[in-house]
Amino acid sequence: QVQLVESGGGLVQAGDSLRLSCVASGLTFRDYSVAWFRQAPGKDRELVAALRRNTNTPNYADAVRERVTISRDNAKNTLYLQMNNLKPEDTAAYYCAADKNIILSSIWTPHYWDYWGQGTQVTVSS
């Protein structure tokens, strides 16, 4: 079955950097669009960044556009999220997601993504 396993979260100070990783198994990774979402306590899950399959053009949320980079290594079945200049408002659980057929207009909605990891916690202290 499909598994997505995130790692790389932790407790950091404002201004620090983190790189999150998500290792996928049980699927042909290169055939899937992939994304990072986050969910803070009491808030809805929101898209951070996405990479649709067969495109080199990422999509980013406005709140993080200048500070994060999404990338993938298909040979390693791994998705990454490099986050720089972290802010306390970035504190959340971060989830990777995968879907084979998602269209651009749907990437912002968690409901349309088929597969999810368990999440990794990022806490940014001020």
List CB contacts of 29: < 8 A, sequence separation 6 or more. 72, 74, 77, 98
pLDDT band of residue 110 (cuts 50, 70, 90) is very high
Q: What is the pLDDT of residues 21-33, one digit of tens each?
A: 999 999 999 999 9
Q: What is the pLDDT of residues 16-64, one digit of tens each?
A: 999 999 999 999 999 999 999 999 999 999 999 999 997 878 999 999 9
The two beta strands, 33-39 and 59-60, are: unpaired
90 secondary structure, DSSP code: G
Beta strands in 64-111 (DSSP E): 68-73, 78-83, 92-99
